[in-house]
Amino acid sequence: MRRYLIKRAGISVMTMLGIVIVVFFIVRVLPGDAAAVRAGPYATAEKIAQIRAKYGLDRPLWEQFVDYLAGVARGDFGVSVRTDQPVLGELLSRLPASLELAVYSVLVATVIGVPFGIVAAARQGTWVDVVARVFAILGSSMALFWLGLLMIYFFFFRLGWFPGPVDRLAVGTPPPPTVTGFYTIDGALAGQWEVVAMAFRFLALPVLTLGFVLAAPILKMVRSSVIETLASDYVRTARAMGVSPRTVLFVDGFRNALLPVTTTIGIVFGYMLGGNIIVEYLFSWPGVGRYAYEAIQTNDLEALQGFVIMVGILYVALNVVIDLGYALIDPRIRLGRKVTA
Amino acid sequence: MTSLALMGLLPPGIELRAGSIRLEGRELTPDLAEGRTPREVTMIFQHPRGALNPTMRVGRQVARVLRINQGLGASEAKEVAVDLLSRVGIPGAERVARAYPHQLSGGMCQRVMIAMALGCRPKVLIADEPTTALDVTIQAQIFDLIRDLVAETSCGVVFITHDLAAVAEMCDRVVVLYGGQVMEQASTVDLFERPSHPYTRYLLESVEREVDPHIEEKDVDFGLPGCRFAHRCSEVFDRCVEFPPQFDVGDGHTSACFRHAEENSVAS
Amino acid sequence: MSQSVSWELPSSAEPGRLARWSAELRKRPLLAVGVALLFAYLVLAVVGPAVTVDPLRTDPANQLLPPSAAHPFGTDEFGRDVFARAVAAARLDLWIGLVIAVVSMVVGSVIGVVAGYWGGRVDEVIMRLTDVLLAFPGFVLALILVAAMGDSVPNVIVAVSVSFLPHFIRLTRAEALQQREMEYVDGARLAGNPPWRVAFRHVMPNSLGPAAVQATLVAGWAILTVAGLAFLGVGIRPPTPEWGVMVAEGANDVITGEWWTALFPGGMIVLAVMAFHFVGDELGGGRV
């Protein structure tokens, strides 16, 4: 187990280093004149020169790279061209909003995908299975921005059940005192129940939009791995010994199917870190995705680069967590080789 | 396949059309097909390690069977499970009960599976090639174990195998199957002394010396009527396209080959 | 796994290719739906722009008209015909989607075969680079690439192709690893073929199966990615008729109830992606 962890950590560090190098290459080398891109399409030659000096873009490339690497290692992601603020600080202040959205969306996706997948696997070939399959294809073909607009049109404009796409809370409502940064939790901790209710109402549409799309891969994975375990020798044994089909499905089938499903849920969560630029923009959600959107609009490559590095590093870290979770579920990894030969 | 059908474990898409199983004069088919407990008939499989749930401690797997089939409470089932594990010859049963299948050897896993089967208190135990995946020395131990347990619990065993040595050692009566058809039935001694069906003779010869080069290996064609062995049989003749009934060849020994009808008619 | 086994009896007359195709389609309704949809899109993309009104012509007198016989999808805030724009966009989007699928499949498969066939150090380097690319969600990778290179159709194609590369590299590499052990490869080598020839003439064609299926799905996802980027104002810019651009332009209309400017083009994206998905899913045996 320990050797496994060390090896895993080593690979992760290498990948993170690779991320930093790739992003550096994309942002500094690819554009040709990095200063011109930063200055925007209407900048004067003077302005470009000024930016070149300010960001050290006139120095040799390798010097820039070493500086940049040292900066990232210290947690210095550079300064935003647009706001003149350190990028990392701005990202961190917006991260809780994104995480709250991500957590609830993945939760909804899991609540839809897992039971639906199990039932589809148990009733293979019936109409439930067909509905599940069409649902899965619909989910993986869905354009987030279209579904989001559909939700806004029906549930906000037509029915008025949920608030419009403005923010995390209604204008003028002060956020609850910050503990976790999740308004739904902080509100509850402060006993401000009307804030909690409002936070949930503002979360509803973006969460439903993402949850629907994210449920598709989870559903597919649950279905195929439950089918696989149900066809396994040990399920046959359990049935021969009189264990009921229901118990076999939910205890033997599900527990073993959990392994690939955990991975999928993790990947889905990782995908959320980047996929929610669209949803955060659409619903004016003040998270890191919205920050990235604003950076794009203003050619703020420093900020965009910070966002991409953060997404990459979170993604790698997340994969480590998934692997640990995997190890906890699967005794074959947790306990290593055999006791008796 | 027959025994899977009997256990109600057919893979999806295949269903039971006909036939019945009787034990002590009672019809068992619906009970077994619907997986009702307690199990009067249970089954152990080949590849014992794959046949145990990899994410559940073996003690729990045995205990679960006890709770279901004997209605024991959780803690009682746990104790009885350890008892059972030591009864099937597992040293340090306490410790092994807490292990996962991947930590045990194949022989150990087969013992665990036998313990689970015993937990059902079966009247009949079906053993589907229980030793094919094991070392020869372990095979012998498992045979001994099954024999002892049969003597102890007076439970019947249906032993499915390709291994004629195992048949000779373990069985009282033999049913020879080919492609799902019963070829021959006899007591073990009688079968080895007087193999009557061409397939049985071929089978016995194949152990002793090299196989007749005229009999080539072919897949069984399930689509054709008649004797399934016909297309490989060196004694095939025109009647073999019909479905062969069992011909009595004496002493409760039957054989499904039209050659017997020919011989009889010549003799009489 | 769940597929039923069918026994095909030899028929007296060998049916023509067309007959076999139509029989296949009748047996698999999802495939038929997918093929029919793709065909409809193709017709729309090829013939459509010749029949519709000019997608760029503005008409201040007819702003934000709801769908009617004259304007099946209504008009947008500049009075442009949404249907004409959606049809013109079909041509652009389908073309971009297919180009991306082909480019990423070809490049990815070559790299994958190189990694799988040669192995060793080359493989190690390629796989580590692939890991790094996979550490970004594909959409984010494409986004920063376009942001750095600048907005243009070729840049979008390059960026989105790169973001789909890792899938193809992994698929073909795994396949090439298996093919490498096959006897026909030894045969080709013994016959005196140089390594590159064995790799690309013998191993590669036999390693492309899964990649080709994947490419069908990627064509759909590429359209989704391109439209998503355009929705954020990256890559393809207004007033170009492109589905993502149109949804972005119409997004604010939805909040005020003029749903047709955004929901029609968006629906066309989803339907197109689904069509690719039906086909890819069926070709992949329903396991994708």
Cis peptide before C239 (omega within 30 of 0): yes
Per-residue pLDDT, B176: 84
Any chains having at least 3 CB pairs less than 8 A from chain C are A
Contacts of A335 in chain B (CB under 8 A): 100, 103
pLDDT band at C10; cut points 50, 70, 90: very low
Residue contact C131–A149, C-beta within 8 A: no
What's the CA angle centered on C177, arms C173 and C183, to 5 degrees?
Answer: 140
Contacts of A236 in chain B (CB under 8 A): 9, 45, 51
Residue contact B103–A241, C-beta within 8 A: no
User: Between C10 and A211, where is the model more confident?
Assistant: A211
The answer on A303 and A274 residing in a single domain is: no
pLDDT band at C11; cut points 50, 70, 90: very low
Place of tokens 């080949």: B46
User: Is A300 exposed, middle or buried (CB count within 10 Å of its CB: 0-12, 13-18, 19+)?
Assistant: buried
**CA distances from residue A308 to A88, A244, B229 in whole angstroms, order as listed:** 11, 50, 68
Segment C141-157 mean pLDDT? 89
Task: List residues bridging with A86 in a β-sheet.
Answer: A79
Counting Cα atoms < 13 Å in the Cβ hemisphere of B49 gives 16
The answer on A124 and A270 residing in a single domain is: yes
In SS3 terms, C103-123 reads as HHHHHHHHHHHHHHHHCHHHH
Closest CA to A34 of A293, A310, A305, A301: A301
The answer on A305 and A167 residing in a single domain is: no
Contacts of B119 in chain A (CB under 8 A): 241
Domain count, chain A: 2
Out of B7-11, B183-187, C19-23, C170-174, which region has the weakest mean confidence (pLDDT)? Answer: B7-11
Closest CA to B99 of B41, B59, B157: B59
Q: Which of A30, A145, A212, A271 to mutate to test the interface with C (most CBs of C within 10 A)?
A: A145
The answer on A267 and A234 residing in a single domain is: yes
Q: Which residue of C has its CA nearest to A40?
A: C150
The answer on A77 and A107 residing in a single domain is: no
Contacts of A227 in chain C (CB under 8 A): 1-2
Place of tokens 């013939």: C47
Tell me: the pLDDT tens digits for A117-161? 888 888 887 888 888 888 888 888 888 888 888 888 888 877 878
Residue contact A301–C131, C-beta within 8 A: no
User: What ipTM does the predicted assembly reach?
Assistant: 0.83
The answer on A73 and A137 residing in a single domain is: no
**pLDDT of C13 over the 50 cut:** no
pLDDT, mean over chain A: 81
The answer on A148 and A49 residing in a single domain is: no
The answer on A5 and A131 residing in a single domain is: no
Out of A167-181, A205-219, B104-118, C90-104, which region has the weakest mean confidence (pLDDT)? Answer: A167-181
Q: Which of A261, A286, A311 is the last residue of a domain?
A: A286
Separation CA B172–CA A281 (nearest Å): 78
> How far C191 CA sits from the closest chain A CA (Å)?
41
Separation CA C174–CA C170 (nearest Å): 6
In SS3 terms, chain A reads as CHHHHHHHHHHHHHHHHHHHHHHHHHHHHCCCCHHHHHHCCCCCHHHHHHHHHHCCCCCCHHHHHHHHHHHHHHCCCCECCCCCCEHHHHHHHHHHHHHHHHHHHHHHHHHHHHHHHHHHHHCCCCHHHHHHHHHHHHHHHCCHHHHHHHHHHHHHHHCCCCCCCCCCCCCCCCCCCCCCCCHHHHHHHCCCHHHHHHHHHHHHHHHHHHHHHHHHHHHHHHHHHHHHHHCCHHHHHHHHCCCCHHHHHHHHHHHHHHHHHHHHHHHHHHHHHHHHHHHHHHCCCCCHHHHHHHHHHCCCHHHHHHHHHHHHHHHHHHHHHHHHHHHHHCHHHHCCCCCCC
The answer on A254 and A144 residing in a single domain is: yes
**pLDDT of C156 over the 90 cut:** yes
What range does the domain containing A23 cover? Answer: 1-82+298-341
Residue A242 has its nearest CB partner, among B37, B50, B104, at B37
- Note whether residue A12 is domain-resident: yes
CATH code of the domain occupying C26-52+69-284:
1.10.3720.10
- pLDDT tens track, chain B, 268 positions: 455 555 555 444 444 444 555 555 555 555 555 555 556 778 888 787 788 888 888 888 888 888 877 777 778 888 888 888 888 888 887 888 888 888 888 888 888 888 888 887 777 888 888 777 777 788 888 888 888 888 887 788 888 887 787 788 778 888 888 877 788 888 888 888 888 888 888 878 777 665 555 555 556 656 567 777 777 777 777 777 778 778 887 777 888 888 776 665 444 3
Which residues, at least 6 apart from B2, have a Cβ–Cβ distance to it below 8 Å? B180
Tell me: the pLDDT tens digits for A95-108? 888 988 999 999 99
Counting Cα atoms < 13 Å in the Cβ hemisphere of C28 gives 22
Residue B52 has its nearest CB partner, among A237, A240, A244, at A237
The answer on A104 and A198 residing in a single domain is: yes
pTM value surpassing 0.90:
no
For chain A, the distance separating the N- and C-terminal CA atoms, rounded to the nearest angstrom, is: 19
Contacts of C228 in chain A (CB under 8 A): 143-145, 278
Interface of C with A in 87-146 (CB under 8 A): 128-129, 131-133, 135-137, 139-141, 143-145
Residue/partner pairs of B133-142 with CB below 8 Å, 24 or more apart: B133/B46, B133/B47, B133/B48, B133/B49, B133/B106, B134/B48, B134/B106, B134/B107, B134/B110, B135/B106, B135/B107, B138/B106, B138/B107, B138/B110, B139/B166, B141/B89, B141/B107, B142/B107, B142/B110, B142/B111, B142/B114
Per-residue pLDDT, C222: 92
Instruction: Give all strands of the β-sheet with B247-248 in edge-to-edge order.
Output: B173-178, B181-187, B254-255, B247-248
Tell me: the pLDDT tens digits for A237-263? 887 777 777 777 777 777 777 777 888
Separation CA C175–CA C193 (nearest Å): 21
Residue contact A331–B43, C-beta within 8 A: no
- Note whether residue A292 is domain-resident: no
Any chains having at least 3 CB pairs less than 8 A from chain A are B, C
**DSSP label of B238:** G
Task: List residues bridging with C75 in a β-sheet.
Answer: C81
The answer on A97 and A75 residing in a single domain is: no
Q: Which of A129, A227, A241, A332 to mutate to test the interface with B (most CBs of B within 10 A)?
A: A241
Residue contact A252–B8, C-beta within 8 A: no
Residue contact C270–A146, C-beta within 8 A: yes
In one letter, which amino acid is B27? E
The answer on A210 and A239 residing in a single domain is: yes
**pLDDT of A187 over the 90 cut:** no
**pLDDT of C3 over the 50 cut:** no
